[in-house]
Structure 1
Amino acid sequence: MNALISRFLKGGFIRKVLVMVSGTAGAQAIILLASPVITRIYGPEAFGVLGVFMAVSMILIPASGLGYPIAIVLPKHEEEAVGLTKISLWLSVGMALLSLVIAFLFGEELLELLNFTDINNYLYFIPLVILFGSLLQISEQWAVRLQEFGVIARTNMYHALIVQGSMVGIGLIYPFAFVLILMNVTGQLLKAVFMGTGSLRKRKSKGSIDVTHPPLKETARKYKDFPRYRAPEMFLNAVSQNIPIMLLSSLFGPAAAGFFTLSRRVLAAPATLIGKAVGDVFYPRITEAYYNKESLQKLIKKATLGLSLAGLIPYGTVVLLGPWLFGFVFGDEWVQAGEYARWMALASFFGFINSPSVKALPVLSAQGFQLLFTIVMLIVRIAMLAVGSFVFESDLVAIALFGLSGAVLNSLLIMITINISKKFDETSLNKTEGE
């Protein structure tokens, strides 16, 4: 048995996941320890303002580079990865400048139309968070490409310590939503700098810092599936994830948005601790398996099963004890957030275990399917929220329907992806035998 465990831990994939988890565990420990203090300092309304601001920003960030940052991991040769980085940087800067112009000309009118006047004072932070979030995307994908998982782990821990510590320290003097927003914006920049510096050091050590690259137009054309399919998919997925905050704030007030924001923050802990670690390690691993003609279906199944076992306890506990846990840990005014979390945990569990499937879809050349599925998911989720809000006139029913629909749709995504990978493996095997 000891020999089996030793051999299991020596596996490259598992070892890299453990490196990621070790640093991320430290970051999550800091966040969870700080959260009961932060919730008692700021309250649901301040969290609601933060939630609306981040919802608007998070919808714009993923698509700001038109999906090209995600492609950085894929090229076999570094020259193309450098070209993709330059394309991503130009697009991100352009998107940030465009958002600044829109904020200046129409920002207040748009916020008033959507009933988001609570974030009027933070309007000009949005272009900054778009730019910093895009830089973070690029630096993170380079760290994944170089398999610098230790850098990612350390960065997560430093970022959590600085941001959470500042929220607590400054909040004791100035307990307003401005502090929460400011630290989230600057935190994105700090994380991008830490991660980018670590990756740059690795590239210098390899002597590849001055590498040339093909013309940018040629590179952009080669990876055109990313702006064609992945960018709109990321945008629509972000809308799907963040629309509850926007709807709750508009219809039920900032406190309801605050309950949702805290619930999502807590439920994101397992996904950040394990799911993202597995996903970041799995992406280059399945890319390598593709080039080596390995079975992709087998890899996806094994990773999904492992995540299922890992997620049962944390998400199951929230389903059973959510309201009591939130009241005990965060204070009596947060019991309603526990009711939200109980239903959201269902969707979060299946979102947690679908990470290998989502990471596999670009390798399977199935980004068109991913876009179509995301459109369906967005329509269904909006419909469920609308039924709960307008038919039942209940924020809790809206969240319950949102959570149930997310669980069903994410489980379908996993099953379809496994089926796609099976057909992909069969086609690849036939090609190999034909050669």
Structure 2
Amino acid sequence: MKSNIFKKLSNNNLARNVLIVASGTAAAQIIALILMPIITRLYGPESYGKLGVFITVITILTPISTMALPSAIVLPEKDSESRAIARLSLIIALLVSTILSLVFIAANDLLVNLSTFQNLGNLIWFLPLALLFTSCQDVYTQWIIRKKEFKDLSKVSVSHSLLNYGTQALIGFKYPFTYILIAIHTIGIFVRALMLYYFSKDIRSTSLKSDRNSKPSALRILRKYYDFPMYRAPEMLLSAISQGMPVILLSTYFSLTIAGFYTLTRTVLAIPINLLGSSIQSVFYPHFNEAVLNNSKTTSLLMKPTLTLLYVGLVPLVLTIFFAPFAFSLVFGDEWYEAGKYAQWLSIWFLFTLVSRPSISAIPVFKLQGWLLIFELISTIVKILALFIGYYYFNNPIVAISLFSITGSLAFLILILKVFKHAATLDNKIK
């Protein structure tokens, strides 16, 4: 029986590739889970709150940094065109990071008075570097996904997790300071980008020679993939704002400690998403794109991973709802008990985040970027209002987070239904 199951998996390229990525991600997450109880006891909620604000700012700026062009690297039939997209993405990222540095120099006094940057203080000088390194790793990740070198992605995930969390724990014993935490995080992004660059052999070995005569111009790339900077980038920006806004608002309206509780909760609940959701999304995206290019039906292709993620996600959801406060205080320390209360509500939103991954992968393939932009704009406004109501009318972070989780879950459900409806419409046109 077991041999038959493994035989079927080995003959299924999609399932096999998902297992390859998931195994590397699982190892990386295990390393994180082993070391995080040490790290949380060393640095404390306030340091985690500042780290959460720092990561949120980077996440919000990343779509602007690359204009979402790395997401298009998988799509072209020719490698020369994909290399041109990668080059253009890196050039834009370098320009944006340079401009951001100049803005910080010219308007430092003004920025310090803003609540978000006030919470970071001098740590804002890490932002331009972290933004550039994040943009680079996005480009090289998409190239490796295009080449379907999923084993390399797994190697990078494990190595980065060991380096990042291991260094935080080791140095934290002697220097448990916030700037150390953020400096290590920034260096970790840089090292991850270097490792991804190393494994992106094809992108660097021929990009300057064999593609010289055939590579498309930057203007041609922007014209052909205009929907990415025009629709995808603003949508990703809005998505980053809607997901990161709790950290910003909690640190502004309540305290950095409250933001730290949320940051740890988000990190822990993201583990199944990183383990399964991202693994399936990385493999599913090029696989789904090929199916559409071959004029194949896509509804059943969407249904299988969506239902799989739903079934798998229900178990941790139930466990989190019943046991999260006790588990958080036991594993991470007594001062993190409150974070477990946040997890009880946020687990609902994270379940829908997990289940939506295949549908989100299908959106650029279906060219639904314009719809997604409008949808993300509306849902972001609604989620920010939910947080504000929790603060203004209840002055309670748990109420704010619960309202945010419910509205976010409903938004993901609407997105999934829209993508499935579009897939069914296209399937009906195929004879």
Give the TM-score band, short-chain normalised. Answer: over 0.9
Identify the residue that residue 90 of structure 2 maps to in structure 1: 89
SS in 2 for 1:295: coil
TM-score (normalizing by structure 2)? 0.96
Identify the residue that residue 6 of structure 2 maps to in structure 1: 6
CA distance in 1, matches of 2:69, 2:393: 41
Residues 33-54 of structure 1: CA distance to partner in whole angstroms, max 9, x if unpaired?
A: 1110000000001101111111
SS in 2 for 1:123: helix
Contact 1:143/1:196 (<8 A) preserved:
no
Q: CA deviation at 1:65?
A: 0.7
Q: Percent identity?
A: 37
**Which 4+ runs in 1 deviate beyond 3 A?**
1-4, 201-204, 206-210
Flag the 1:222–1:322 CA change in 2: closer, same or farther, 3 A.
Answer: same
Identify the residue that residue 358 of structure 1 maps to in structure 2: 360
Q: CA deviation at 1:272?
A: 0.5
**How many residue pairs end up in the alignment?**
428
Identify the residue that residue 317 of structure 1 maps to in structure 2: 319
Contact 1:267/1:315 (<8 A) preserved:
no
Flag the 1:73–1:277 CA change in 2: closer, same or farther, 3 A.
Answer: same
Q: CA deviation at 1:8?
A: 2.7
Q: CA deviation at 1:108?
A: 4.1
Indicate yes or no: 2:268 matched with 1:272.
no
SS in 1 for 2:175: coil
Flag the 1:209–1:334 CA change in 2: closer, same or farther, 3 A.
Answer: farther
RMSD in angstroms over aligned alpha carbons? Answer: 1.6
Flag the 1:126–1:279 CA change in 2: closer, same or farther, 3 A.
Answer: same
SS in 2 for 1:124: helix
Indicate yes or no: 2:132 matched with 1:131.
yes
Identify the residue that residue 16 of structure 1 maps to in structure 2: 17
Residues 64-103 of structure 1: CA distance to partner in whole angstroms, max 9, x if unpaired?
A: 1101111000001111101101110111111101111111
CA distance in 1, matches of 2:245, 2:196: 30
* From 227, 230, 235, the counterpart of 1:228: 230
CA distance in 2, matches of 1:323, 1:281: 35
CA distance in 2, matches of 1:318, 1:111: 38
Residues 297-343 of structure 1: CA distance to partner in whole angstroms, max 9, x if unpaired?
A: 11111110111112111222112211111011101100110111111
**Pairwise mapping of residues 133-282 of structure 1 onto structure 2 (< 5 A)?**
133-200=134-201, 210-211=210-211, 212-282=214-284
Contact 1:203/1:209 (<8 A) preserved:
no
SS in 2 for 1:157: helix
TM-score (normalizing by structure 1)? 0.95
Q: CA deviation at 1:202?
A: 8.4
Residue type of the partner of 1:277?
A: S
Q: CA deviation at 1:124?
A: 1.1
Q: CA deviation at 1:63?
A: 2.8
* From 412, 415, 418, the counterpart of 1:413: 415
Indicate the larger mover: 33-42 or 187-196: 187-196
Q: CA deviation at 1:409?
A: 1.1
What runs of 5+ residues in structure 1 fail to find an aligned partner?
A: none
Residues 211-257 of structure 1: CA distance to partner in whole angstroms, max 9, x if unpaired?
A: 34122211211000000100000111000010100101011111001
Indicate yes or no: 2:90 matched with 1:53.
no
What runs of 5+ residues in structure 2 fail to find an aligned partner?
A: none
Contact 1:111/1:120 (<8 A) preserved:
yes
CA distance in 2, matches of 1:265, 1:218: 40
Residues 138-157 of structure 1: CA distance to partner in whole angstroms, max 9, x if unpaired?
A: 01000100001100001000
Contact 1:116/1:250 (<8 A) preserved:
no
Indicate the larger mover: 51-60 or 381-390: 51-60
**Pairwise mapping of residues 65-144 of structure 1 onto structure 2 (< 5 A)?**
65-114=66-115, 116-144=117-145
